[in-house]
Amino acid sequence: MPAVFEHLEEGGMSRAQLIEMARKDLEHGRNGTMDKVDEIFKVPVENYYEPGRFEREVRLIFRRIPLLLATTAELRNPGDYKAMEAAGVQVLITRDREGSVRAFVNMCSHRGARLVGEGCGSAHKFTCPYHAWTFSPGGDLVAVYSQDDFGALDKSEYGLISLPCLEKAGLIWVTLDPDSTLDINDFLSGYDSLLGEFGFDTWHHQHTQRVDGPNWKIAYDGYLDYYHLPILHRETFGTEIGNKANYYSWGPHTHLGRPDTSWEEYEGLPEAEWPTEKLVAGVWTIFPHISIASFAGGGRSVMISQLFPGDTPETSYTNQIFLMEKEPDTEALRKEADEQFAFLKYVVAEEDYATGIALQKNLDVGARSHVLFGQNEGGGQLFHKWVDTILETPDTDLPKLFQTG
Ligand code: FES
Ligand SMILES: [Fe+2]
């Protein structure tokens, strides 16, 4: 069986914050306490199914807020690319000749064909499958097929539509609104430096698999909740961790620790010797749609769960992106890693999302007006409050939400 949330390496300020959280987790472990918020919080059931609400969430959250769409490991070298769909937008992420990550709408400027089919690859140029217009990894239109026939055209006006993007901590964020003025660094609220402690920029992309699920918020709620672990996951891994989470937040992004006496072993040691792999254990959620958790099968790994709303309010899908600290280099390690991935697909599909799909049907009936998030579920409370806040914020005020000082 894979060890779950186990140990996960190095820095300054962010490391100090990790140590501080570990000390708090230790204190809670010793005292038999946990982090609690002041009140039980109610979420109206229609927030999970009402079509108008769903349309606003896609348009005002997924199309306006930076999304973690890719990892450095997926496009490490100049010319590497990743093409994918995110919240209905076809996106092409490239690494240009200078080594910078670029993001574009995956749409030819001639008549709008999708330029590159979904997946990762490497290309020195992108030739449109419709009439063979050709673009560089930097998004420039470099050649028009049969240009004498087509007519005179200023190619510099017909490059790909560029999207704001940022590569940090071995992770790549893209904003789907080409006109966004929201600074992705502001949005990250310093959280990226903690994520940087993993050292993902040198990790290996081993595998990606997809799981279909219920409404994206029902699915996401489960990633912010340890309360259910020993119950819903009792047959798989849930008894290893306990049902209590401590929530630590940076802007809308939340790290889940837990009351944990196992830190006593390190208490007498200089902080520099506290193992980084253990300091970054737990769950790291990145608003609005990412969860990162650590595993050990086949070698140290993380599963990056990347959620997207489906075509209807009742559906979502999740890309489980597996990064490994080192590429498994023996058959035995590869097999162990594959078993880990299959196990996690099983847990999420058959336990979490199966529960969420049945739960969704109950909400849709309208027999109850709301669902509850307890004082022990502060992460979920914060998530829903941020969702509401962003829905209420006009475009012009959006950058201010994340600016500090
Ligand atoms: S649509 Fe791309 S070349 Fe015509
Ligand atoms: Fe779960």
Among the candidates 147, 181, 215, a domain finishes at 181
Give me ligand 1 centre to Cα 34, in Å.
Answer: 58
Q: Which residue has the tokens 């306990």?
A: 242
**Dihedral over alpha carbons 22, 23, 24, 25 (to 10 degrees):** 50
Among the candidates 181, 200, 216, a domain finishes at 181
C-alpha 341: how far from chain center: 17
For residue 356, being part of any structural domain is answered with yes
Tell me if 131 CB under 6 Å of ligand 1.
Answer: yes
CB 226 within 8 A of CB 46: no
Counting ligands in written order, which one lies closest to the CA of residue 160?
Answer: 1
Tell me if 386 CB under 6 Å of ligand 1.
Answer: no
Range of the domain at 90: 67-181
Specify the ligand 1 atom closest to the Cα of 129: 2
Q: Which residues share a beta bridge with 207?
A: 322
Whole-angstrom distance, CA of residue 220 vs CA of residue 307: 8
Establish how many alpha carbons lie within 13 A of residue 273's alpha carbon, considering only the half-sphere containing its beta carbon.
6
Give me ligand 1 centre to Cα 137, in Å.
Answer: 17
Tell me if 133 CB under 6 Å of ligand 1.
Answer: yes
The C-alpha angle 326, 190, 318, rounded to 5 degrees, equals 55
pLDDT per residue as tens, the chain (405 positions): 222 322 333 346 899 999 999 999 999 999 999 999 999 999 999 999 999 999 999 999 999 999 999 999 999 999 999 999 999 999 999 999 999 999 999 999 999 999 999 999 999 999 999 999 999 999 999 999 999 999 999 999 999 999 999 999 999 999 999 999 999 999 999 999 999 999 999 999 999 999 999 999 999 999 999 999 999 999 998 788 899 999 999 999 999 999 999 999 999 999 999 999 999 999 999 999 999 999 999 999 999 999 999 999 999 999 999 999 999 999 999 999 999 999 999 999 999 999 999 999 999 898 899 999 999 999 999 999 999 999 999 999 999 999 875
Whole-angstrom distance, CA of residue 302 vs CA of residue 306: 12
Tokens of 255: 């790290």
Say whether both 241 and 285 belong to one domain: yes
Tokens of 402: 């994340």
Specify the ligand 1 atom closest to the Cα of 128: 2
Mutational test site, ligand 1, from 130, 134, 155, max ligand atoms within 8 Å of CB: 130
CATH classification at residue 146 = 2.102.10.10
**Dihedral over alpha carbons 306, 312, 314, 319 (to 10 degrees):** -20
Tell me if 150 CB under 6 Å of ligand 1.
Answer: no
Q: Position 67: which residue type?
A: L
Say whether both 344 and 239 belong to one domain: yes
For residue 1, being part of any structural domain is answered with no
Among the candidates 181, 202, 231, a domain finishes at 181
Establish how many alpha carbons lie within 13 A of residue 14's alpha carbon, considering only the half-sphere containing its beta carbon.
20
Specify the ligand 1 atom closest to the Cα of 111: 1
Q: Which residues surround ligand 2, an ion (CB under 5 A)?
A: 222, 352
